[in-house]
C-alpha cells in the first residue's frame, strides 16, 4: 500500500469535505465513484473513507475516523493491511516516463502480470480476510483502466469477497467505462471554500498565506503538498524575475530550475506567475512551456531544453532585445 498523500487524511478530508463523509460513513454498497477536478482532494477523501470503514474509535462530527485507533494509525503510517491503492504506472520498468498511462489486467490478476510489475494483485489481496473491518481497493485513476482490467474488476465489484469496498477515483465521468459507472454509487468532489482551506492549513500547523490559497483555488491536494507547492511558486517567481535581468541571468535561472524541476507543480506554478501578463504574452509562454514538457518527455537534453525555454520566454515577454 502507498501512504496517504496527507499525513492526516481523515482530519484534512473532514475539514474540507465533511458533508461527503457524512454520506460515506454509513455506505453499505460495494463501490463508490468519486469524481472531480484534478487535485481537488479525491485521494485524501478516499483514504478518509477507508479509515471510516475500519475505525474502531469514536467518530467525529462528520462521522470521520478517530485518527487514534490501531487501524487509523496503520493508515497514517502507510502500512494498513486492508487498503490497496491501484493506479496507472507513471514510469516503465526501465525508469523512463510511460508514454501511455494505463492500469492493465496484470494489476488485477497475478497470472496476467507477466513482467511481475505489481507486488500485490487485486484478486489475491481480496482472498484474505480483513485484519480490521473491511478491505478497501482504491483505484486512483479509474479512467485509465483498460477494458480487460475493468471487466476483471467488475466480477469482484458485483460479488466482493469479505464485503470489500471499491473506491474509484476519476477526473471525468465520461472517460470511465460505463460498466464501472453503472455499478457504482457516485459522489462529486468539488473545490472547497477559501475559508475551509485556510482552516485546514491552520489545523495542520501551517501558515494560511494568500499566494498558496490563490494557487490552490479550493483544491485540497495542494494543501497535502504545500511545501512542494511553495517551493515551485518561489522558483517560478525567480525565473520570471530573471527574465527581465538579462540573458545570462535568465540562463542561470533556467539551469537552476532544471535541477529542481517537479513536473507535478512547476508547470502550473509558472503559469500562475504569468497570470497578470498580457494575453498574447501568456499564449506564447504557454507554447514555450508545452515545448519544454514535450522535449523532456522525449528524453531530449535537459540542460539544452531549459536554455531554449529561457530564450523562448524572453522573446514571449519582449525581453529578448
DSSP E strand stretches across the chain = 31-35, 83-86, 136-140, 165-170, 185-188
Give the model confidence (pLDDT) of 245-298 as tens digits. Answer: 999 999 999 999 999 999 999 999 999 999 999 999 999 999 999 999 999 988
What own/partner pairs with CB < 8 Å and gap ≥ 24 does 255-259 have? 255/303, 255/306, 255/307, 257/306, 258/302, 258/303, 258/305, 258/306
Confidence of residue 314 (pLDDT cuts 50, 70, 90): very high
Tell which of 154, 171, 203 closes a domain: 203
Average pLDDT over every residue of 186-215: 88
Same domain, residue pair 190 and 238: no
**Residue 88 belongs to some domain of the structure:** yes
Confidence of residue 94 (pLDDT cuts 50, 70, 90): very low
Q: Given this model, what pLDDT does residue 308 score?
A: 97
At residue 74, does pLDDT exceed 80?
A: yes
**Residue 292 belongs to some domain of the structure:** yes
**Nearest CA-CA partner of 251 in 305, 293, 287, 298:** 305
CA distance linking residue 104 with residue 319, whole number of Å: 47
Q: What is the mean pLDDT of the chain?
A: 89
Are 12 and 4 in contact by the 8 Å Cβ rule? The answer is no
Q: Which residues pair with 166 in a beta bridge?
A: 31, 137
Same domain, residue pair 51 and 186: yes
Tally of structural domains, the chain: 2
DSSP 115-126: T---SS-HHHHH
Same domain, residue pair 41 and 150: yes
- Residue-range definition of the domain harbouring residue 82: 9-203
Same domain, residue pair 235 and 188: no
Q: Which residues pair with 97 in a beta bridge?
A: 91
Classified as helix, coil or strand, 208 is coil
Give the model confidence (pLDDT) of 3-58 as tens digits. Answer: 444 434 545 677 788 889 999 998 999 999 999 999 999 998 999 999 999 999 99
**Residue 219 belongs to some domain of the structure:** no
229 vs 90, higher pLDDT: 229
Amino acid at each position: 500500500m502507498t501512504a496517504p498523500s496527507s499525513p492526516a487524511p481523515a482530519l484534512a478530508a473532514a475539514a474540507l469535505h465533511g458533508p461527503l463523509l457524512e454520506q460515506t460513513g454509513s455506505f453499505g454498497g460495494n463501490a463508490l465513484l468519486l469524481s472531480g477536478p484534478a487535485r481537488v482532494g479525491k485521494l485524501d477523501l478516499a483514504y478518509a473513507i477507508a479509515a471510516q470503514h475500519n475505525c474502531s474509535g469514536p467518530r467525529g462530527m462528520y462521522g470521520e475516523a478517530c485518527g487514534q485507533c490501531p487501524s487509523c494509525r496503520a493508515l497514517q503510517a502507510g502500512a494498513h493491511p486492508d487498503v490497496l491503492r491501484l493506479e496507472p504506472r507513471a514510469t516503465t520498468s526501465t525508469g523512463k516516463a510511460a508514454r501511455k498511462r494505463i492500469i492493465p489486467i496484470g494489476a488485477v490478476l497475478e497470472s496476467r502480470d507477466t513482467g511481475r510489475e505489481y507486488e500485490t494483485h487485486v484478486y489475491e489481496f481480496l482472498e484474505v480476510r480483513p485484519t480490521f473491518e473491511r478491505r478497501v481497493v482504491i483505484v486512483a485513476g479509474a479512467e485509465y483502466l483498460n477494458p480487460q482490467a475493468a471487466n476483471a474488476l467488475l466480477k469482484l465489484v458485483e460479488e466482493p469477497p469479505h464485503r470489500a469496498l471499491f473506491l474509484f477515483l476519476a477526473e471525468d465521468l465520461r472517460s470511465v467505462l460505463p460498466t464501472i459507472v453503472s455499478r457504482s454509487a457516485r459522489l462529486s468532489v468539488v473545490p472547497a471554500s477559501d475559508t475551509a482551506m485556510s482552516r485546514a492549513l491552520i489545523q495542520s500547523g501551517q501558515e494560511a498565506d494568500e499566494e498558496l490559497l490563490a494557487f490552490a483555488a479550493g483544491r485540497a491536494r495542494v494543501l497535502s503538498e504545500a511545501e512542494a507547492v511553495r517551493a515551485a511558486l518561489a522558483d517560478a517567481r525567480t525565473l520570471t524575475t530573471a527574465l527581465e535581468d538579462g540573458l545570462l541571468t535568465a540562463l542561470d535561472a533556467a539551469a537552476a530550475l532544471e535541477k529542481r524541476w517537479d513536473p507535478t507543480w512547476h508547470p502550473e506554478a509558472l503559469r500562475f506567475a504569468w497570470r497578470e501578463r498580457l494575453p498574447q504574452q501568456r499564449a506564447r509562454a504557454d507554447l514555450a512551456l508545452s515545448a519544454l514538457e514535450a522535449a523532456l518527455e522525449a528524453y531530449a537534453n535537459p540542460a539544452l531544453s531549459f536554455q531554449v525555454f529561457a530564450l523562448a520566454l524572453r522573446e514571449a515577454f519582449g525581453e529578448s532585445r
